[in-house]
């Protein structure tokens, strides 16, 4: 995929000084139905989730209430970073609530809630991640998640453009 320069949607990342949350807000130039598909269909998820330099391998991605997921990001020298969790609730076009663990730190777990808002053909996605200690939240931010998130969302912009073209 080539970088699409027509998008100017900004990713807002807010870390509350007291509460151990990370709140991401991002708008997409596609309707909630399509953005929701990109978040839940594994063959679409694999095309955007993760930093550009890593290859995504999905082992399991059952995005239904009660389903589980596991995927790995693999870098050029073969190092793997695996992530897993369960879907507490998947409510079509509206919300996804899931748990999230980086298997390299198996004691760490976050609860992630993505809300999809219809802006009239466009979509605002607000994702709130919470852990039980401010230090753990700060470690997540220090891990370089911001680059991964921005690149993921740019790749999602590109995927949504392709899907919109296919549907046009």
**Crossing angle of the two packed helices 134-142 and 145-167, in degrees rounded to 10:** 70
Distance CA 123, CA 28 (A): 5
Which of 19, 105, 141, 164 touches its own copies (CB under 8 A)? Answer: 19
Q: To 5 degrees, how large is the angle CA 37–CA 14–CA 74? A: 55
Question: In 3D, which of 28, 38, 8 has the Cα closest to residue 166?
Answer: 38
User: Is there a contact between 98 and 109 (Cβ–Cβ < 8 Å)?
Assistant: no
Q: Does 97 bind its own copies (CB under 8 A)?
A: yes
Q: Does 126 bind its own copies (CB under 8 A)?
A: no
Q: Does 13 bind its own copies (CB under 8 A)?
A: no
Strands 123-130 and 110-118: antiparallel
For its own copies (CB under 8 A), the number of binding residues is 25
Our CB check for its own copies shows the closer of 52 and 91 to be 91
Distance CA 96, CA 87 (A): 7
Q: Does 87 bind its own copies (CB under 8 A)?
A: yes
User: Is there a contact between 11 and 25 (Cβ–Cβ < 8 Å)?
Assistant: yes
Which of 7, 126, 128, 151 touches its own copies (CB under 8 A)? Answer: 128
Which of 74, 109, 145, 163 touches its own copies (CB under 8 A)? Answer: 109
Residue 50 to residues 41, 104, 134, Cα–Cα distance (Å): 15, 16, 24
Our CB check for its own copies shows the closer of 78 and 106 to be 106
Q: Does 113 bind its own copies (CB under 8 A)?
A: yes
Our CB check for its own copies shows the closer of 92 and 121 to be 92
Q: Does 89 bind its own copies (CB under 8 A)?
A: yes
Q: Does 110 bind its own copies (CB under 8 A)?
A: yes
Q: Does 10 bind its own copies (CB under 8 A)?
A: no
Interface with its own copies (CB under 8 A):
18-21, 66, 68, 85-89, 97, 99, 101, 106, 109-111, 113, 128, 130-134
């Amino acid at each position: 995929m080539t970088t699409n320069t027509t998008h100017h949607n900004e990713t807002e990342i807010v870390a509350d000084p007291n509460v151990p949350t990370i709140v991401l807000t991002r708008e997409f130039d596609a309707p909630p139905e399509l953005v929701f598909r990109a978040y839940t269909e594994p063959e679409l998820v694999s095309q955007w989730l993760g930093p550009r330099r890593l290859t995504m391998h999905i082992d399991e991605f059952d995005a239904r209430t009660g389903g589980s997921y596991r995927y790995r990001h693999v870098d050029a020298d073969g190092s793997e970073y695996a992530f897993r969790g369960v879907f507490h609730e998947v409510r079509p076009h509206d919300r996804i609530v899931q748990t999230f663990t980086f298997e390299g730190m198996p004691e760490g777990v976050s609860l992630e809630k993505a809300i999809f808002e219809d802006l009239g053909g466009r979509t605002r996605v607000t994702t709130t991640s919470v852990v039980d200690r401010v230090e753990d939240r700060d470690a997540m931010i220090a891990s370089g998640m911001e680059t991964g998130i921005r690149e993921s969302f740019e790749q999602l912009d590109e995927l949504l453009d392709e899907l919109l073209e296919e549907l046009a």
